[in-house]
Structure 1
């Protein structure tokens, strides 16, 4: 179910999806039976998007992130993959590259227009074995099928794509999205795959740490007891390798034209939203990674007439609004990932443990 920031009336036209920024499609593919519980999510930008990345936590699993350093050659990406399968899941990017090559999207490397190299950075979460079979993890076919299913009005959240096998603080994790419109008309959106060691839920109130756009009330006493009992049963004096390998990954996007350096800062500040929504975050066994995307029109060629130089006060002020909104939207997306997830694979969801928290519409 799609969610959006309803704190401003101007946001009412938004669907609460990452795709609200335009020029980006989201696709999911997952398998959840016969020993499978994993999937891949693709953020498709076939015309190219300026991108940056910020990798935190002690155990990241990433692909092509060095290309996104501001000083390096490549300026645009053609897709971002977010996948289950830990390091094995990075293979899903090959399928996305094959799909993009078929459509002629990529970095041109020759006179023939078919000579392209699609730029597909990505990040993965650890969900190995959660469906029952360790060898069942995403490969190139997952990426290809997710790319083929990508659409510009995607609103799917919860246990879809890379969120199929996700777990967060003992509860079923998943995918969440959020979007908002700034007072100048620019849109900022986020998508999060929450598979964290830390929890989105405050154990004292049994409500999310971060305020949600989903209408909630404090769960009744019975639901609070059920939630705490369930989580206490999962606690162990010494964490096993399987339940101590976690990660939250995702992206923030805007239709404001940004440079690579600004996209990198966009991704970095979005981690503030992660830390507000998931507590704790950025631990040694996390691989928290956030991409920053700009799908604004045109190429950014800085000159003395560019706003960043001609208006040294106005440009930073505008960027600050985008950066702050990115952090807010990523926090909201993390929260929605847990609220929209459903129980599966032996992992119970917050929605099933605390149904009284959800206010009837």
Structure 2
């Protein structure tokens, strides 16, 4: 597998969105009794987070995205919700709003607070058997509770998993389960990806400057996640050293017989890319836009008339803003100026927006690959390694 687009980078401690310290992620899902769907929430650290969004698909289902326009009032958001259920699933954000408001978290207004919770949804209607078996506010409650470790198993209809931040060195640690961020969980419970099982995937990278960039993708694509000639997962081309070394090209025989039967006409891939570097709303919007490049490298075709592809970008603002780019574009300094040099904004050494954007795109590609690798196969959508078992060279 090819390495990253620039050297001297490494994954974060958990290779997940949780490596951006302060973020919390929770999943809630229901499978059975006509349901095969779920909700994922990304909670902001205290004080909220700066956010931007880029919508590229022609059939999006979104909420509160206009607030993220740099021309508009709101400067911080308090959570991002990703959900199944198509437009019905936007109701899950109401449950997250309930929990935030109960805790006094939100935009201050006369008489109380208004939590700012942008959201996006995938189309998974009917995949569990019932068309209207969709996430509602209770799913939002369960996902929030999972993210805050208040609830690991939701009452009767929800099975929630949690991911708790504040591990060693200020990074993330798993909250009582292994690999709970990746796979057919949360918003990715009923996802498909070009005929394969889809799901939720995450990835992170720590740049030489110490800045962390991470992505979470909910992969539910009409397009293929495979290289058409080799059957290799396209997103693995952007893996960090060792990340996908357990995989190889599947046999020609397996590639030749692959005929996806579960390709649907309404889909959508959504996600979040995050960093601890301080960004403006406009810079977050740019990061979200470049992350779509990573989506398009891992899924082909992307941004179609039947996809609602939407990516949010968030900044926790734990580190100072990026340095100005070099005066002569295309010519980078051989040595990094000392942190705090006059006029450079006192950012971490070598922290440039250009590098952050490139890392965000690669991280999203990797997250797409992890989503498909971790997904659970089912009758209408096999797991990648069920369809291409020879691709597994060794146990990861």
TM-score w.r.t. length of structure 1: 0.87
Question: Corresponding residue for 1:304?
Answer: none
- Comparing both structures, which one devotes a greater share of its residues to helix? 1
- Aligned position for 2:203: 178
Instruction: Provide the residue aligned with 2:73 in structure 1.
Output: 73
Runs of 5+ unmatched residues, structure 1: 236-242, 301-306
Tell me how many residue pairs correspond in the alignment. 337
Question: Contact 1:91–1:139 at 8 Å: present in 2 too?
Answer: yes
Shift of 1:224: 2.7
> What is the Cα deviation at residue 203 of structure 1?
2.6
Q: Does 1:195 align with 2:220?
A: yes
Deviations 1:161-205 (CA, angstroms, capped at 9, x unpaired) = 000000111111101100000100010000000101111111310
1:344 counterpart residue number: 378
**Aligned residue in 2 for 1:166:** 191
Q: In structure 2, which of residues 265, 282, 300 is the aligned counterpart of residue 279 of structure 1?
A: 300
After alignment, is 202-211 or 332-341 more displaced? 202-211
Instruction: Report the counterpart of residue 45 of structure 1 in structure 2.
Output: 44
The answer as to whether partners of 2:276 and 2:319 remain within 8 angstroms in 1 is: no
Show the counterpart of 1:104: 104
Distance 1:12 1:297, change over 3 A: closer
Whether the 8 Å contact between 1:198 and 1:281 is mirrored in structure 2 is: yes
Q: Does residue 291 in structure 1 map to residue 288 in structure 2?
A: no
Once the 2 structures are TM-superposed, how far is the Cα of residue 223 of structure 1 from its aligned partner? Answer: 3.0
For the aligned residue pairs, the C-alpha RMSD in angstroms reads 2.5
- CA distance in structure 1 between the partners assigned to 2:372 and 2:103 by the alignment: 35
Q: After the TM superposition, list the runs of 4 or more consecutive aligned residues in structure 1 that deviate by more than 4 angstroms.
A: 7-10, 314-317
Q: Distance in 2 between matches of 1:352 and 1:298?
A: 43
Matched residue SS, 1:216: coil
Structure 2 residue runs of 5 or longer lacking an equivalent are 148-163, 166-172, 322-339
Q: Report the alpha carbon displacement of residue 297 of structure 1 after superposing the two structures with TM.
A: 2.8
For the structure 1 residues 270 and 12, does the alpha-carbon distance in structure 2 shift closer, same or farther, using more than 3 Å as the test?
A: closer
Aligned to 2:120: 123
- Deviations for 1:104-149, whole angstroms, at most 9, x for unmatched residues? 2111113x6xx11110001000000000111100000001100110
CA contact (8 A) 2:224 2:300 kept: yes
> Is residue 200–residue 278 contact of structure 1 (8 Å, CA) maintained in 2?
yes
Task: Note if contact 1:51-1:294 (Cα within 8 Å) is conserved in structure 2.
Answer: yes
Post-superposition offset of 1:329? 0.2
